[in-house]
Amino acid sequence: MQIKEIATELKLPYIKNNYQNLINQANQTSMAYDEFLLGILENEYELRKSNSVARRLRNARFPMKKYLEDFDQSKYIVEIRNKFKDIETLQFIDNKENIILIGSSGAGKTHYSIGLGIKACLNGKSVLFKSVPNLIIELKEAMSMSQLTSYKRKFATYDLVVLDELGYVSFDKAGCEILFNLLSERNDKGSIIITTNLNFDRWEEIFKDAMLTGAMVDRLAHKAHIIELARENSHRFEETIEWLKAKQ
């Protein structure tokens, strides 16, 4: 067998595509055998790691790329910034703890949750991002196609699930019950980040049932980091002001 064939069989794309150039370079520089072998294996490893990260980011289905490095933490009080520092170690994922980000529109909830999700992907964690209204639609579709069990099984395998915009849309009774069952089955199996514009005492406006609401809060808030993201102005308002200034 030839080198290219073996590399293809062993799924070593870097070696398959670059071996001849690497051999030529090694011959020209009189590279030692161990140096040549180490170099080619390091490049194969880096390519595999890069492809793995790209695959995790693609599978997470983030609606946009938002990074923690671009998140302006100076807009928040010291206590919240200290919580950010603790959360960004990603230890909460290893501990299977939840995060609940509460704040009005423009408080930075979605940006921060996506930033955490992307950092988790870069650190080898499997992540799924869903807006809650879209999740309800998918769950109902899975139920109508008798695929709900497999959907729940897959949902439970992610290291981190980010559920965005809880509270912006209320659900019917069937939607509430199916969401409750999904989150209950995931409980203690992996971390969840919830972003919501409503405090817990208003969640009954979403779920329409006091008992179901209480049970939902009890499960999600257990071992959870609860952060109220309060800032004087929304980031959208601040960006609009800066845009208007630039136009003048």
Residue 52 has pLDDT above 60, yes or no: yes
pTM of the model: 0.83
Class of residue 205 by CB neighbours under 10 A (exposed 0-12, middle 13-18, buried 19+): exposed
Say if residue 93's pLDDT is above 60. Answer: yes
pLDDT category at 225 given cuts 50, 70, 90 is very high
List, in sequence order, every beta strand (DSSP E) within the chain. 98-102, 127-131, 160-166, 191-196, 224-228
Mean pLDDT taken over the chain? 89
Pair 69, 218: CB distance under 8 Å: no
Report the C-alpha gap between 74 and 228 in whole angstroms: 15
Domain boundaries, the chain: 3-59, 61-239
Q: What is the mean pLDDT of residues 64-75?
A: 93
Among 99, 112, 113, CA closest to 225: 99
Residue 100, classified by CB atoms within 10 Å of its CB into exposed (0-12), middle (13-18) or buried (19+), is buried
The CATH code that applies to domain 61-239 is: 3.40.50.300
In whole angstroms, give the CA distance from residue 68 to residue 112. 7
- Helices 148-155 and 173-186 meet at what angle, rounded to 10? 40
Highest mean pLDDT: which of 83-97, 164-178, 205-219? Answer: 83-97
pLDDT of residue 70 exceeding 90, the answer is: yes
Alpha-carbon radius of gyration of the chain = 23
**pLDDT given at position 170:** 78
